[in-house]
């Protein structure tokens, strides 16, 4: 995982509410543990027409959404079944942050553990971002603030351990591996005391 300190991008807006993990990546694609290539399957049943061509009605297929790495999504994003493939698919697609007024807990935890910023905003801030697609934002993970184009700011909260992992580019296993010497020393002390 790469460290995430700042993210600057235009926003893409997907205003639908209750976008569940099966819409993010359909269950029939959960046959792999490889992350690479999942981006082409992201929003598959929504993004493509029956013949495999792009669905022109899908918001992320619009030219103004291309290249955006910040997704402003409708309320209750990531609900449904737990699948780590959902944040993997979004990351492989090029989305590095999801902003929403309500993000499903399991999805949010999976996202943060995999380097996808999942940021919960208050309703008024969320409505404003939904109504202003394509604006440029800068997300500062260390300061936990989103800089708006007009000079304003939106504050957000990340759980401290998740924030630490994002800033240092480590997942939970990587964090433990960083403390391998201390863990070994503790185990040796416990063994001697037994």
pLDDT tens figures, 30-47: 887 888 889 999 999 999
Q: What is the structure's pLDDT at 19?
A: 95
In a domain, 21, yes or no: yes
Q: What token pair was written down for 152? A: 């304003």
Q: What is the structure's pLDDT at 164?
A: 93
Checking if the pLDDT of 175 tops 80, the result is no
Rounded to an integer, the average pLDDT of 108-115 is: 94
Q: What is the structure's pLDDT at 81?
A: 84
Q: What is the pLDDT of residues 128-151, one digit of tens each?
A: 999 999 999 999 999 999 999 999
Q: What is the structure's pLDDT at 148?
A: 97
Lowest mean pLDDT among 29-33, 63-67, 90-94, 142-146: 29-33
CATH of the domain at 146: 3.20.19.10
The closest alpha carbon to 101, from 116, 132, 122, belongs to 122
Predicted TM-score (pTM) of the model is: 0.90
Q: CB within 8 A of 166, min separation 6: which ones?
A: 3, 4, 112, 115, 117, 141, 158
Checking if the pLDDT of 176 tops 80, the result is no
Total domains in the chain come to 1
Q: What is the structure's pLDDT at 179?
A: 76
Domain membership of residue 15 as a residue range: 6-192
Rounded to an integer, the average pLDDT of 117-135 is: 96
In a domain, 1, yes or no: no
Checking if the pLDDT of 27 tops 90, the result is no
Whole-number Cα distances in Å, 105 to 36, 49, 56: 25, 31, 31
Rounded to an integer, the average pLDDT of 65-85 is: 93
Checking if the pLDDT of 91 tops 90, the result is yes
């Amino acid at each position: 995982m790469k460290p995430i300190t700042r993210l600057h991008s235009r926003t893409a807006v997907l205003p639908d509410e209750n976008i569940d993990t099966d819409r993010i990546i359909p269950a029939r694609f959960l046959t792999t543990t490889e992350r690479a290539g999942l981006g082409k399957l992201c929003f598959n049943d929504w993004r493509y027409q029956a013949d495999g061509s792009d669905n022109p009605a899908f918001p992320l297929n619009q030219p103004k959404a291309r290249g955006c790495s910040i997704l402003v999504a409708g309320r209750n994003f990531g609900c449904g079944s737990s699948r780590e493939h959902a944040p993997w698919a979004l990351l492989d697609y090029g989305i590095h942050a999801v902003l929403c007024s309500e993000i499903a807990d399991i999805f949010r935890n999976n996202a943060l553990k995999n380097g996808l910023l999942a940021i919960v905003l208050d309703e008024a801030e969320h409505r404003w971002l939904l109504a202003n697609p394509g604006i440029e934002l800068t997300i500062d993970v260390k300061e936990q603030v989103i800089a708006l184009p007009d000079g304003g700011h939106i504050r957000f909260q990340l759980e401290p351990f998740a924030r630490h992992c994002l800033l240092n580019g480590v997942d939970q296993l990587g964090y433990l591996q960083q403390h391998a010497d201390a863990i070994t020393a503790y185990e040796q002390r416990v063994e001697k005391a037994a």
